[in-house]
């Protein structure tokens, strides 16, 4: 969700830079207008997209791992309180682990396709 906001902000900066740069050229001067274009398009937009692509996926991966750990902790607590019997507890743990394995396989599969694509180029 945070990465969607950051990506949207990058697009907004990219679009707003043009009219701001033109207005700066018309009313303030060419140097200020050029500065607006340079800061907007050559600094802010790439920076926002780099942050979105490089830094946030690691945060999202950490959050996903925390969610799995939290889910397992909740299952253990419910089992300890007697809310779940042995069979229900084992079934839910297996489901949780299967979900984790399928996500890991999907990520590995996607990464291998990306590496093959890069090699072919």
pLDDT in tens, 59-116: 555 555 556 667 888 888 888 888 888 888 888 888 888 877 666 665 555 555 555 5
Per-residue burial over 56-94, b if 16 or more Cβ lie within 10 Å, else e, is eeeeeeeeeeeeeeebeeebeeebeeeebeeeebeebbe
Looking at 6-10, 21-25, 52-56, 95-99, which range is the least confident one? 52-56
Question: What is the structure's pLDDT at 109?
Answer: 54
What whole-number percentage of the chain has pLDDT above 90?
27
Is-contact 104 64, C-beta < 8 A? no
Question: What is the structure's pLDDT at 80?
Answer: 87
What whole-number percentage of the chain has pLDDT above 70?
68
Helices (H) and strands (E) in the chain, counts: 5, 0
Model pTM?
0.44
Q: How confident is the model at residue 29 (pLDDT cuts 50, 70, 90)?
A: very high
């Amino acid at each position: 969700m945070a990465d969607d906001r950051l990506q949207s902000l990058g697009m907004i900066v990219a679009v707003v830079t043009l009219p701001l740069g033109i207005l700066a050229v018309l009313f303030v001067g060419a140097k200020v207008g050029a500065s607006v274009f340079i800061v907007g398009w050559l600094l802010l937009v790439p920076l926002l997209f780099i942050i979105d692509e490089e830094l946030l996926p690691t945060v999202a991966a950490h959050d996903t791992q925390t969610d799995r750990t939290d889910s397992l902790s909740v299952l253990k607590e419910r089992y300890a309180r007697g809310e779940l019997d042995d069979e229900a507890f084992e079934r839910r743990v297996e489901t949780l682990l299967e979900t984790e394995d399928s996500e890991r396989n999907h990520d590995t599969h996607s990464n291998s396709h990306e590496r093959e694509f890069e090699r072919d180029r």
